[in-house]
């Protein structure tokens, strides 16, 4: 071969190698970005991963390649962040284990399609990195609401546990998401235009603003805790044993003994589906629990049926064992608590994983509070509902606290339970009210109105914890306005990017 031919062959190979490297780098950067989420909590990894995504998107030769880069990044990100999604399928592996890899694959790639669309559209319209950031934030907003919504593992969740988390009180989770994306992508826009010093300065200034304002809010003293105490009950019933007839009495006795321990609290909180029977058949155990509580109100999770329908509920038990009030979970888990297109799945013999009723659960009417008397009104959130910011607001009366009853035994023992806890902390910041969280296997926690952990029971531990009920703060900006200002900011950034593009013609 001539020297000219060899040189031509090498030149032709270079673009192919570059494409291959980009296809490896994108999912690797996404996987690294997921390390900012619990339980790793390495927030710089999320920021660095998003910066890498911006560089890869910027270098893409055409819209299709830009969309592919965003898709591969997001597939890597969600694949690592949501790997716990396989855990429920191994509770009964002989029935559902074969579904686990398909569940993770379709979850990660399905969510990645939202990012791919944003990446392709921003490149197709030549909106630059500012437009890309706006479209990514809108894509995250869309996946939080479409098809019943799934706002788990947002990039903004990397700030939970840091001072920057406090921004959720002003701009909410989606506003914080937009700020996170803009913080990562804006410096790359400056660097690639030759203004490296300006890019570094923008990154440093953005971090300083996030951190400094958050520290300032954290520095303000919290109001003194209330005089009343709450007792969190954590029976630590592994999911494979939870419904075992031989183990049910053990877990029940454990919860009752914790409830009756001295000194008596002012409120007792049991986790989701803490009793195995249906509410209408549980008069004796409810009376037994009320006696153990010594007259203190008890809120616990239980299933109930009415007119042939089944509900995943929370019940407030009075001093005589009466069901004083009932809340029915309304935001159900698709494929867990109900099956879309149920007739199709029934023919295949597949039912919801978490639903004890063959037809799955029926959703309740929506958020509502329970009247706890001297303790005020409390808004229950059952398991999955705590990941939706809108489910923690919108009741006629502002609650004094959120009650999170959950069974995180479904999520395994590594990342899922900690990510769920982190999102409950964010709900406290957004609403300025404490969250009292009783989890079957943990982590149970008393969370103050700024998202701090005032008391916890570790994962995988049976026990109870008493703590004063934290006081609520005045309603923060997000609790008064909701997510509309964040949406307006996304649209404004998108409009600015479009105007810049039009002005550059």
Which residues are known to be catalytic? 272, 329, 383
Burial of 161 (0-12, 13-18, 19+ CB in 10 A): middle
User: Helix count (H) and strand count (E) of the chain?
Assistant: 15, 12
- C-alpha span between 116 and 64 (Å, rounded): 9
Q: What are phi and psi of 29, to 5 degrees?
A: -65, -40
- C-alpha span between 438 and 446 (Å, rounded): 9
Spatial CB neighbours of 80, under 8 Å, sequence gap ≥ 6: 30, 31, 34, 35
Q: Cβ distance 248 to 273 under 8 Å?
A: no
Spatial CB neighbours of 170, under 8 Å, sequence gap ≥ 6: 476, 477, 478
- C-alpha span between 366 and 364 (Å, rounded): 6
Token pair for residue 26? Answer: 């994108």
Using a CB cutoff of 8 Å and minimum separation of 24, what contacts does 243-251 make? 243/276, 243/356, 248/276
- C-alpha span between 475 and 326 (Å, rounded): 26
DSSP 8-class letter at 27 = H
In the block, tokens 């035994």 appear at: 409
- C-alpha span between 95 and 30 (Å, rounded): 32
- C-alpha span between 273 and 292 (Å, rounded): 19
- C-alpha span between 118 and 121 (Å, rounded): 5
113-123 exposure pattern, b = at least 16 Cβ within 10 A, e = fewer: bbbbbbbbbbb
- C-alpha span between 70 and 136 (Å, rounded): 9
CA–CA–CA angle 201, 206, 212 (5° rounding):
120
Q: H or E element: which one contains 267?
A: strand 267-269
- C-alpha span between 387 and 364 (Å, rounded): 17
Crossing angle of helices 168-192 and 484-503, in 10° steps, is: 20
CA–CA–CA angle 449, 405, 357 (5° rounding):
155
Instruction: Compute how many other C-beta atoms are within 10 angstroms of the C-beta atom of residue 424.
Output: 24
Token pair for residue 452? Answer: 């701090």
- C-alpha span between 207 and 214 (Å, rounded): 11
Q: H or E element: which one contains 139?
A: helix 128-143
């Amino acid at each position: 071969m001539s020297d000219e031919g060899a040189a031509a062959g090498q030149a032709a190979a270079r673009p192919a190698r570059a494409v291959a490297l980009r296809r490896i780098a994108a999912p690797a950067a996404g996987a690294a970005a997921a390390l900012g989420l619990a339980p790793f909590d390495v927030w710089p990894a999320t920021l660095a991963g998003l910066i890498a995504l911006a560089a890869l998107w910027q270098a893409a030769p055409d819209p299709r390649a830009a969309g592919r880069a965003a898709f591969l990044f997001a597939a890597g990100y969600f694949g690592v962040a949501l790997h716990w999604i396989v855990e429920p399928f191994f509770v009964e592996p002989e029935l559902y284990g074969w579904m686990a890899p398909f569940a993770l694959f379709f979850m990660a790639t399905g969510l990645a399609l939202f990012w791919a669309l944003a990446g392709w559209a921003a490149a197709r319209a030549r909106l630059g990195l500012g437009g890309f950031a706006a479209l990514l934030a809108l894509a995250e907003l869309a996946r939080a609401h479409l098809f019943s919504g799934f706002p788990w593992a947002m990039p903004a969740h990397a700030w939970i546990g840091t001072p920057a988390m406090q921004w959720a009180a002003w701009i909410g989770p989606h506003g914080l998401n937009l700020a996170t994306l803009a913080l990562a992508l804006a410096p790359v826009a400056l660097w690639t235009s030759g203004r490296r010093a300006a890019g570094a300065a923008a990154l440093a200034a953005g971090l300083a603003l996030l951190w400094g304002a958050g520290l300032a809010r954290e520095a303000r003293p919290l109001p003194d805790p209330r005089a009343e105490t709450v007792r969190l009950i954590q029976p630590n019933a592994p999911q494979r044993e939870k419904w075992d007839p031989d183990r049910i009495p053990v877990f029940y006795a454990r919860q009752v003994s914790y409830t009756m321990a001295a000194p008596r609290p002012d409120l007792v909180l049991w986790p989701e589906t803490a009793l195995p029977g249906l509410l209408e058949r549980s008069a004796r155990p409810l009376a037994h629990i009320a006696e153990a509580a010594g007259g203190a109100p008890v809120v616990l999770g239980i299933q109930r049926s009415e007119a042939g329908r089944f509900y995943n509920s929370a019940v407030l038990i009075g001093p005589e064992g009466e069901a004083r009030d009932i809340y029915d979970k309304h935001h159900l888990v698709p494929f867990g608590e109900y099956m879309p297109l149920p007739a199709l799945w029934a023919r295949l013999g597949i039912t919801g994983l978490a639903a004890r009723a063959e037809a799955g659960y029926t959703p309740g009417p929506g958020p509502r509070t329970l009247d706890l008397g001297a303790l005020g009104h409390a808004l229950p959130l059952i398991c999955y509902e705590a990941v939706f910011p809108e489910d923690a607001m919108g009741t006629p009366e502002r609650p004094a606290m959120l009650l999170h009853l959950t069974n995180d035994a479904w999520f395994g023992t590594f990342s899922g339970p900690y990510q769920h806890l982190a999102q409950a902390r964010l709900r406290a910041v957004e609403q300025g009210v404490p969250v009292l969280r009783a989890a079957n296997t943990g982590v149970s926690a008393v969370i103050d109105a700024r998202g701090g952990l005032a008391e916890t029971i570790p994962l995988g531990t049976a026990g109870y914890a008493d703590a004063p009920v934290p006081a609520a703060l005045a309603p923060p900006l997000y609790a008064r306005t909701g997510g509309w200002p964040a949406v307006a900011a996304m649209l404004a950034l998108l409009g600015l990017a479009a105007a810049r593009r039009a002005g550059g013609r």
